[in-house]
Structure 1
Amino acid sequence: MTAILPSTAGRELLKPPRDGISNLRFSNHSDHLLVSSWDKSVRLYDAGSDALLGEFVHGGAVLDCCFHDDTSGFSASADHTVRRYVFSSGKEDILGRHEAPVRCVEYSYAAGQVISGSWDKTLKCWDPRGASGQDRTLVGTYPQPERVYSLSLVGNRLVVATAGRHVNVYDLRNMSQPEQRRESSLKYQTRCVCGYPNGTGYALSSVEGRVAMEFFDLSEANQAKKYAFKCHRKSEAGRDIVYPVNAIAFHPIYGTFATGGCDGYVNVWDGNNKKRLYQYSKYPTSISALSFSRDGRLLAVASSYTYEEGDIPHEPDAIFVRNVNEVEVKPKPKVYPTPS
């Protein structure tokens, strides 16, 4: 039975995926929402009118998705394929393949390329304008130190987080080798990486209930600004219960960010002032993905069990779209004491 949530949870979209929600993303042009799922589907919703606009089905679980334009996009699947979908015409084709499940996909508007990251320990770049057919659109293959877990793209800079706590930073204009090779400052497995909207660094989350704030500039002054903080944990009977942090999403206007954890909570943070701004009411189960709309008015929340406690009974997968109030996401001004 679905839990009854307070109105602060947001509107629940009709016709959600039938299995775990791997990712969701708002369009850069409208309130269209692209959703990928372990039920092998990629779905396009109009989050404003709660309408399912289209659905495509893979041969395997879909582990990631991203937009190309308002009615087309790309997906990464456990069936080893990267696919392109055009919802307006109902057409799809295979852009290319990896040797193992494809975990991540991004589209670079600057480069006009699709970037996919796989558990075969490679990144691949594809030209979606090329001829169809296996590997005929392949631009380049770039070996990684381990399986790719998360990608984030801001401008021409691509951040790649892999197993083994490796982080590679690339400039898409020269993919011959990483611009930087780093190690996560967190001790345990990376769950999510997300670049700052201003392009100066990235946030990294892990299974240990922590988030690290990192900066690209390697100068001593800038590296002194980086820090990590605890979140998505609670004390119970004298012990700390720690939850994985699955999702990070930056607000496009204010640069604050939301995190979603296996505790079912979404928190909003002011990274500059190192403060939590808001915590939403608890959702029915784990938060697997988050996305702010292009203008920051809406926040899409995937409430979807991520099997961190094994195959146990859990609440149904659901997508909530909530209206964002300024007080939840706008940094509070620092108050300085009045001189006596």
Structure 2
Amino acid sequence: MSGLFGSAASAAAATSNTIGDLKNDVALSNPPEDTISGLSFSPAADFLAVSSWDKKVRIYQIAANGSSEGKHMYDHDAPVLSVDFSKDGQKLVSAGADKQAKVCDLQTGQSAQVAAHEQTIRCARFFESPNSNGPMLVTGSWDKTVKYWDLRQSAPVGTVPCQERVYSMDVRNSLLVIGTADRYINVVNLQDPLKFYKTLQSPLKWQTRVVSCFTDATGFAIGSIEGRCAIQYVEDKDAGSNFSFKCHRETPQGATTQVFSVNDISFHPQHGTFSTAGSDGTFHFWDKDAKHRLKGYPQVGGSITASKFNAGGTIFAYAIGYDWSKGYVSNTQNYPNKVMLHPVAGDECKPRPGVKKR
């Protein structure tokens, strides 16, 4: 099935000695009390939504100097695993282990249940549909289904069965990408949302942790638990540009290579470059077209569980918390739990000059 995309050429992304600087990173005020599962910036203003295992969703306002202030908070009945702002920034969707999705109206502060599944909802995303008068919602669940919702109706307007539990999902324009257990990747054209445009198995040999759509929606990146990332284009004509590379690995001198999970991938809204963040407590910025690492950053003191650029691409937010990659024994009371705001300076995320952009 991977042949649908052509065989992914394994090309190690070129690395450089460019070490990034964390000294200007600022901690978010009054962070959640348990591990952060998701981050979302409003497209309309610098508001940051944070979902957490403490069953709460928090919304912060970020000032130009990096200072932050909590503006709103609401509850779920179980850990919250996903948050996403609507395109106009007026609504926020959240979903999680209570098997429901809620939408909060940012004007009124009121939140209400808008979706339900038979199992945990792992991902919820807004999208725009030409046939709808308002934003639509897509939810992916461990009950092995993806459902579409019109916020004015209580029942789903469409349901698509998947091969396995939904682990990750992302939307960009008309592109929906769904990553499930057993390494299935389903590509959906939201102009025809009730069928899979393509299905493949991940070119990465181990469990999919995250999928993330390119800024221009021509393809997507996949991150896995094995310290690898894959770049995949949707159309067969672009399959020659598919490749995979190693990241988030450590090889102590003379020792076995330690491999860490790639927990999140975020694309820069202007430059189309992207970040990877992992269990090793580092994040990196990459240029997929040049197959080049732009910047690598020192360890931040704990696993990075989520990341996101703001709409202007001037802030990179990353969450530090325990991700259970080392089991129960490593979940200590003094493990850090916070969100850091990294000011994106100068050319940190700019593509390498002279490389033809797609």
Give TM-score, length-normalised by structure 2: 0.87
Task: Select the residue among 57, 60, 63 that pairs with 1:42.
Answer: 57
- Residues 302-336 of structure 1: CA deviation (Å, up to 9, x unaligned): 1111010112225221001111012211122249x
Query: C-alpha separation between the residues in 2 aligned to 1:71 and 1:193?
Result: 25
Query: C-alpha separation between the residues in 1 aligned to 2:347 and 2:228?
Result: 24
Work out the percentage of aligned pairs sharing the same amino acid. 36
CA shift, 1:238, in A, is: 2.2
CA contact (8 A) 1:8 1:322 kept: no
Query: C-alpha separation between the residues in 2 aligned to 1:153 and 1:286?
Result: 25
Task: Select the residue among 201, 206, 210 that pairs with 2:228.
Answer: 210
> 1:125 maps to what in 2?
148
CA shift, 1:8, in A, is: 2.6
CA contact (8 A) 2:30 2:70 kept: yes
- Residues 5-60 of structure 1: CA deviation (Å, up to 9, x unaligned): x8536100111010010010111111100110000011101122400000001000
Root mean square deviation of aligned Cα: 1.5
> 1:113 maps to what in 2?
136
Instruction: Flag the structure with more relative contact order, 1 or 2, with Cα contacts below 8 A and sequence separation at least 6.
Output: 2
CA shift, 1:137, in A, is: 4.0
Structural mapping, 1:62-73, within 5 Å: 62-68=80-86, 69-73=88-92
Unpaired runs of 5+ residues, structure 1, are: 1-5, 336-340
Q: Does 1:307 align with 2:324?
A: yes
CA contact (8 A) 1:9 1:281 kept: no
CA contact (8 A) 2:159 2:194 kept: no
CA contact (8 A) 1:8 1:280 kept: no
- Residues 243-286 of structure 1: CA deviation (Å, up to 9, x unaligned): 00000011111111011000000100011111111012321211
Aligned residues: 323
Give TM-score, length-normalised by structure 1: 0.92
**Residue identity matched to 2:142:** W
Q: Does 1:91 align with 2:110?
A: yes
> 2:7 maps to what in 1?
none
Shift of the 308–283 alpha-carbon distance from structure 1 to 2, 3 Å rule, reads same
> 1:21 maps to what in 2?
36
Task: Select the residue among 324, 328, 339 that pairs with 2:344.
Answer: 324
- Residues 138-179 of structure 1: CA deviation (Å, up to 9, x unaligned): 211110000001111111110111000001111112123100
Task: Select the residue among 256, 273, 280 that pairs with 2:273.
Answer: 256
Query: C-alpha separation between the residues in 1 aligned to 2:92 and 2:98?
Result: 17
Query: C-alpha separation between the residues in 2 aligned to 1:310 and 1:105?
Result: 27
Residue 224 of structure 1 aligns to a residue whose secondary structure is helix
CA contact (8 A) 2:158 2:194 kept: no
> 2:299 maps to what in 1?
282
Q: Does 1:224 align with 2:224?
A: no
CA contact (8 A) 1:110 1:155 kept: no
Structural mapping, 1:148-159, within 5 Å: 148-159=166-177
Unpaired runs of 5+ residues, structure 2, are: 1-20
**Residue identity matched to 1:169:** V
